[in-house]
Each structure stands twice: as C-alpha cells, then as structure tokens.
Chains A and B, each alone.
Chain A
C-alpha cells in the first residue's frame, strides 16, 4: 500500500527522493481522511521552505488541512494539474496526485522521517486510538 522508497511524516505527507530533488505529496490515509478534495492552494515556485513549514492548504468538501514540508529546500516545480483536477490527490495520492518538487537543502533531515513500514505501524496506532 505505502511505497517503500518514500519517506513519511507524522502529518501524513510523503517525499520521494530523486538525487537532489524531492517529490512531495500526501498519503493515501490523508486523502481518505479528508474525503473529496475540491481545492488546493499551492505555493509559488522559487519559494524557500524550512523543515515542517506550511506549504499549502487542501480543502475537501468537509475539511481543511495544511500541508507541511517534510524537508527544507526550494520549490522548483508544482503540479499544475491539481488546479483544475484536485481530485487527482484522491484518485492517485502517491502518483499523479503529487503536489510539488523541492530541491532538498539538507538530506540529513530525511532521518527525521519514517519508512513505509514505520508509517504503517504509526497508522495502526492511530486507528487503534
């Protein structure tokens, strides 16, 4: 369910690292919790992010949720398709529903994040609560 080569945050974002670049999105759990996503407010390309800084807001019919950056870095690309089709996040959260790409500043920050196994265990804990 949760891709092995991704890193995960406790706030349910994922990051897929590709050299200097990191692709960021929200997890399948997060999209399910939010329900039908109807709008996403995206940041501008070129903005520099700190670790855990808010990078945008996702609106579903019922809820609003902030997205936090899993790493520090500079935004180099955003998923333009989400402007007209925010439901891509519901349909394919770990693929076509990616949100943005950052140029990672410090790869050691990735140590703060969870592996897919750790994330799945983390989710089990949430569900039990």
Chain B
C-alpha cells in the first residue's frame, strides 16, 4: 500500500486508517461529525497527497489540453485554476480534474488518486504529434487542503505572500520556509480554503502539517480524514468520481454542462456530447433528501410505483444540515424538484424527494 509522507505523523496521532485507492489514508481523526463541523464553522486540514499531479509542458501544451479536456483552457490566465474533465469519445469522463496554468507552456493537472495511472496513460495515448511533454509527477508532490472560514488566517501565519490577494480559483507560486510551493484558493468542501502543493521530504511535510495544526489551535482546528471529506463534498453537491460519475455517465447526464465548452473547437467527446444535447438526455444526476431517519447508501435500489428505476450513487447523513441526503440518476421526467420516489433501505422502502442542489451553500 502506498503511503503519503505524512503517514507516520498521522498514524501516530491515532487516526483511523483505511485503504483507499491503493493508499493508506486516515478516514477519521476525532470523528466525522466533529471534523465536518470544524470545516464548516472554523477550519480543518486534510492530507490529500494521494491526489495525482500530471505536468504538461511544451509549445503546444494549451492546444493539447484543449483537445483532451471539455472546459476551455484558453480562458485561463497564468495563475488561474479551472475545474474540467478529461473526456472519452463517448462524452463520459475519464476523470474530473483541476487544470492549473503555470505559464503559457506549462500546465499542471490535478487528478483523482484512484485514476492517476489511468489518466496518465490516457493522456500519453492521445499525445499524438502534439509538441508536449507529459510527466506524471504524483509521487513527488505533497498536497494539503486547509479548508474553512478561518483557513486564510491560519495559513497566513506561515506564508509570506498576502493570501487575501489570491482570489477564488487562482493560485500563486510562493515559498513556505524558503522552499517552493504552490498555493491555490481551491478545495472540495464547499468552503473557502486553500490547497498547498510542495515537493519536499517527510521532515518538511511533517513540519508544515504540525505548524498549521499549532497555528490553528486558537480556532480549534481539526485534522480531517476522508470521511469528512466525503460528507463535505456531498453537502456541497460536488461529484465523486467512481460514485457519481465514471466512464458510463456523460457530462450532460451528470449535470456538468458548465464544464463543456462546445464553442472552443474540437475536443475528445465533443461529437457525442453535441449529439446527446440535441437529442436530449434520458437521465440526470439529482440531489435527494430521505424523508426518514434511515440513511440511503450507494447502490440502494430506487423505486417509483413498485418499479425499480435507479439506484443511489452517493448517500450519507449530512452533518451540517442534519439530514439524510444523496445523489442519484433519475429518468428526466422524475427530476423535477419535489418529485417523490422510494429507496429500499435494507428491507424497508422509505420516501425520498428530489431537492434543489447544492444542499449546502456557504454565505459569501
């Protein structure tokens, strides 16, 4: 099993560890609810070094990225980040990802841990005659996510750059203790926050982790695991690859049309997506709330009039909203907000209702 450079210090702190995408990762430290609420109300820190980083450099870096992703990377200025998708010819995502424009000839793609090798192979396979170099640098990068309304204040204590100048979905190359790092105002929790990338060794990674925890003490900062990461992203209605989107769900069905830019020119999957848009999608990913105390979990069957029409993709207790929520694909005629259906949870059919998403939206 792979380990991040923070594995030792995290295990020593007593975190509950699990295997995730081939990595030994903390699922929780003090408890999912406590960690979740810390991020919503104050601040939390995640070791997300398992995420993949793929560098694309060269004179045709932009043209190549335009070809393999669905969003319009030509809109990126240097220092800007974009949520996008590596797309298959059928319009389904190979992965969802962040594209960082480092300079005109250098981009960094941040991808899901479970998909790093798959993405890297897919990118190489499509390189063709583009004048680019593709490097999977995942093993050399550490990545921390500091999330929550107090994240700027905490992180600022160890960073020279004025973090207030980094706008949402922008980044800066800067230094922490004289060593290079990239800090972006991004994250996958629905809160304000930062993701910090640096390439150094175990000792340095542990130092940064410990210092952020120490600096955050006054705000009762919580180290957070994958459990809280999942409940936070779900409340904010962010898709999880492997749960909500995969190679069988098109971007249109996943309600991710906002990251498809048909007008930008050719990209892999464009034709299939255009055709599907013209013909209309048959199913769509929607948010639901369970009208019961039972929690709907992935794969629970979904019924309308005693006929199974779907199954749950993501489902959990939502610690901030104190509701049982989830995401699932429904035939389009059932996707109106307020539509009722049933979910078979163990041996009982419970009522659920299509609701507006995001379930939770932070106040600006």
Contact = CB atoms under 8 A, between A and B. Distances in A.
**Are A and B a genuine interacting pair, yes or no?**
yes
Interface of A: 35-36, 38-39, 41, 57, 59, 61-62, 64, 90
A64 B231 contact: no
A64 to B, nearest CB: 7
Contacts of B16: 35
A36 to B, nearest CB: 4
A35 B32 contact: yes
A39 B295 contact: yes
A62 B227 CA distance: 7
Contacts of A38: 33, 293, 295, 317
Interface in B5-47: 16, 27-28, 31-34
Contact of A39 (B27, B28, B231, B294): B294
Contacts of A62: 27, 32, 227
A90 to B, nearest CB: 8
B297 A64 contact: yes
Contact of A36 (B32, B293, B294, B297): B32
Contacts of A61: 32-33, 227, 231, 316-317, 319
* Interface SS majority for chain B: mixed
Given A38-B295, A39-B295, A61-B316, 9 more contacts: A35-B32, A39-B293, A39-B317, A57-B346, A59-B295, A61-B227, A61-B319, A62-B227, A64-B297
Contacts of B319: 36, 61
A38 B293 CA distance: 9
A64 B319 CA distance: 16
A128 to B, nearest CB: 15
Contacts of B33: 36, 38, 61
Contacts of B295: 38-39, 59, 64
Contacts of A36: 31-34, 319
A39 B16 CA distance: 21
Contacts of B293: 38-39, 59
Contacts of B231: 61
B31 A35 contact: yes
B1 to A, nearest CB: 16
